[in-house]
Amino acid sequence: MKPRINVYLDYDLHKRVEKFKAKTGLSKSGIMEIAVAQFLSPESADKREAAIAKRLNQLTRQFGRLERDLVIHSEAQALFIQYYLTITPPIPIRDQKAARSTGHERFENFLTHLGKRLSEGPSLIDKVVNDIKVREQDFFSIDLEAKDD
């Protein structure tokens, strides 16, 4: 004969045990015995640790991709700003009001276009990253200070 143990369960957990009992045909005692055995078994802890390790590895890879994308985005933006500032001539004071108005219109068009791109399928940066297939070691080996001869 097995020793008797009284267990108090939360109402929701008790409902889940009842559903499992109806589904499997096991007794409540049998369900509790299996649950306690699994909880106390060393393999159960190993399985939990393996699942956590797997998820951490997935998160590490995702973080690596985010970091890579951020570096690419930042570098592209810095190159664009450098290029823009290099080729853009200063605007005479008499034309600055018109230039501000044109700039405002262009910015509104940009925001509209950006909103449209974000609501559609894959982003442009995803397409660029997939097209250029930059490897991290190649990207970080570029000498941005080197002058063209």
Nearest to 125 by CA among 61, 72, 65, 60: 72
Annotated domain spans of the chain: 11-40, 45-88+111-140
Q: Is the per-residue pLDDT at 149 higher than 60?
A: no
- Quick: pLDDT tens for 86-140: 998 999 999 999 999 999 999 999 999 888 888 887 777 777 767 766 555 555 5
pTM over 0.85, yes/no: no
- Site of tokens 């700003």: 81
Tokens representing 149? Answer: 């001869």
80/142 Cα distance (integer angstroms): 17
Does 146 score more than 70 pLDDT? no
Residue written as token pair 């997935």: 58
Query: Taking phi first (over 0 means left), then psi (-120 to 50 degrees means alpha), and beta for anything else, what does residue 87 get?
Result: alpha
Is residue 84 over pLDDT 80? yes
pLDDT at 13: 93
User: Which residues fall within 8 angstroms of residue 117, CB to CB, at 6 or more apart?
Assistant: 123, 124
Which among 43, 36, 2 has a CA at the least distance from the CA of 17? 36
What is the tens place of the pLDDT at every residue in 23-79? Answer: 999 999 999 998 888 888 878 778 888 889 999 999 999 999 899 889 888 998 999
SS (H, E, C) the chain: CCCCCCCCCCHHHHHHHHHHHHHHCCCHHHHHHHHHHHHHCHHHHHHHHHHHHHHHHHHHHHHHHHHHHHHHHHHHHHHHHHHHHHHCCCCCHHHHHHHHHHHHHHHHHHHHHHHHHHHCCCCHHHHHHHHHCCCHHHHHCCCCCCCCC
pLDDT value at residue 11: 95
Confidence band, pLDDT 50/70/90 cuts, at residue 1: confident
